[in-house]
Structures are given as C-alpha cells and as structure tokens.
Amino acid sequence: MIICCTTNDKYVKFTLGLINSIRKNCTTQYKIICRCVNVCNDNLNLLGNDTNIEIVIDNRPLSTAKNITTPEGTTYTSLLSGNRLAGYLKSEEACYCSNIRFYQTLQALKSGEDVMYMDVDAIVRGDLIDLPNVSPGDDIVIRRNVDEGMYGLQKRMPISEPDNVVYQQGFYFVRSCNLTLRFYEYLADKIQTDMKNWNADQIMFLNATKKFPVKIGQLPTIYRDSYHNPVDGGFKNESIVWCGGWVDKYTNSKYLAEFEKYAPQHNS
C-alpha cells in the first residue's frame, strides 16, 4: 500500500506530524508520496529526512489570497454572519492542493499498489495494517455522508445533489485494478476544468460513481474521526485516525496534545 498526501508551505508542520505518526504507529514501512506545492527549500529538506518518502515538487503561480467563496452561491454578506455553515473563503492554492488529489491517486495506482490518500492534518494513532480488510469486496472505501452537511453538523446548502450526498475526500482507500485506474483517470482529467472550486472533488467524485460501476464501501469512523462526528462527538481514544478539519487543528486542545507527540517543535 502507498500513502499519498499533498501539502503547501503552510501545512508542512502538519505533514511532518502525519509522517511521524505513521512511522511511530505502523508496523509496515509504507512508501509515502508527498506532493509539495510551492514549498520552500528549507521545508523540503525537513520532509526529505524520511528515507521512504517520495517528494514531488510542484511549483506554480497560485494565489494565496482567500477570495474564493464556497460553496457555490455563498455571498460575502453571508460570510460576515460568522456562521461557518453559511460558507467560507478559500485561496486558489488551497483549491489546487485539494483537487490535485485525483491525479496523485492515479499516478500511485499505476504502480499496481493499493493506495491510501489522506489530508496532511490527519494524525495516525494506531496501525493501518487492517485497513485493506475493511469492505474487502469494494473497490474504494470512503466516508459517505448523507443529509448531514459538510461537517456533520446540520443540513446546509447542497454541494452535490438535492439529497446532499457528500463523499469526504480527506481519507480514502483504493484497490488497484483496471476499473479504479479508469475511474481516477477520468477524475484527474475532468477536474482540470474546475481546479479553483473548493468542492469540485466531492461533486465530481459523486458524478463519476454514476458513470463507472465502482463498488463503494463505507469507511468506519475509527479511520476518519473528527471533532464534529455527527453521531456522538469525536476524537475518541479508540480511533485510529484523527482528522484536524477546519479550525480544530489550531484550537482543539485534545487534537493539539496528540499532535505535539509527533511534531512538537513545529506546533506554533
């Protein structure tokens, strides 16, 4: 299994925490492919200290100004309400880092290995060795939320279709086969037309499931535990992966204490 992730300069400290947590808690020395978007040389050197990590340097002119509203239909007036469910602002660079995941996944699948993709603000707290055994008959294992909104808090403006189906792209597992190769080849090509849309990855993934007969399995919460878990709260001690979505990576004391175990010198 190959682990893929994408970071920019701002998120290198979280990327280091993710890598260190994988190395400490996984019995397998997984190969990690990390795409580094506009990352400075000093931070590239920090990431390159791991002997089994492939650094993909991706330097391109991308604005870091947060001036893209999301989801579509969000207005600056609604953003001023202070309610994150009303929408928020993202930068061109952030959208690119999010949407390039399909290309990353495709390239890794071409090796013939299964692929796990995760956002770099995740913390791996236990061994991932059993992940391939989750939903063994399915091609892709991913968290599917229905009628829960983006963060599981409440129903909000639909970003994909009227019943508000959202495939959470922050952590997923893909079995390498001809079908998944074609699936991600389609996605990697299709998303090039909408790289500045923060929600494009979720929208296009859902639409692609209607075009390809891929079998989708539900990712258990223990592999994608977040503070806003809609069932009973989040960051459970028994969970294998904690995801630091939204501001939790900066403000949640439980997440920060766990993060400090793996990259305390970069927690600022």
The topology (CATH level 3) of 2-266 is Spore Coat Polysaccharide Biosynthesis Protein SpsA; Chain A (3.90.550)
As given in the structure block, the two tokens for residue 176 are 């390498």
**pLDDT at position 222:** 93
pLDDT in tens, 205-254: 989 999 999 999 999 999 999 866 545 556 889 999 999 876 678 888 88
Question: How far apart, in whole angstroms, are the C-alpha atoms of residue 42 and residue 38?
Answer: 12
**pLDDT at position 66:** 86
Question: How far apart, in whole angstroms, are the C-alpha atoms of residue 222 and residue 22?
Answer: 15
Runs of H (alpha helix) within the chain: 12-25, 41-47, 76-79, 92-99, 101-109, 178-190, 200-209, 248-251, 253-259
In one-letter notation, the amino acid at residue 121 is D
**pLDDT at position 85:** 53
**pLDDT at position 9:** 96
* Residue 63 vs residues 21, 50, 70, 81, 245: alpha-carbon distances, Å: 31, 29, 16, 25, 22
200-209 vs 101-109: helix axis angle to the nearest 10? Answer: 50
**pLDDT at position 202:** 87
Distance of CA 209 to the CA centre of its chain: 19
Residue pair 37/58 in contact by the 8 Å Cβ criterion: yes
Under DSSP, the state recorded for 159 is S
As given in the structure block, the two tokens for residue 227 are 């503070």
pLDDT < 70: residue spans in the chain: 70-88, 147-164, 227-234, 246-247, 264-268
Kindly report whether the global pTM for this prediction surpasses the value 0.85. Answer: yes
**pLDDT at position 75:** 53
- Residue ranges of domains in the chain: 2-266
| Of 230, 82, 112, residue with least CA distance to 174 | 112
As given in the structure block, the two tokens for residue 52 are 């089994």
Identify the residue whose tokens are 């400090």: 260
**pLDDT at position 157:** 47
Q: What are phi and psi of 30, to 5 degrees?
A: -65, 145
Question: How far apart, in whole angstroms, are the C-alpha atoms of residue 174 and residue 144?
Answer: 15
- 3-state class (DSSP) for residue 141: strand
pLDDT in tens, 148-167: 544 444 444 445 454 567 88
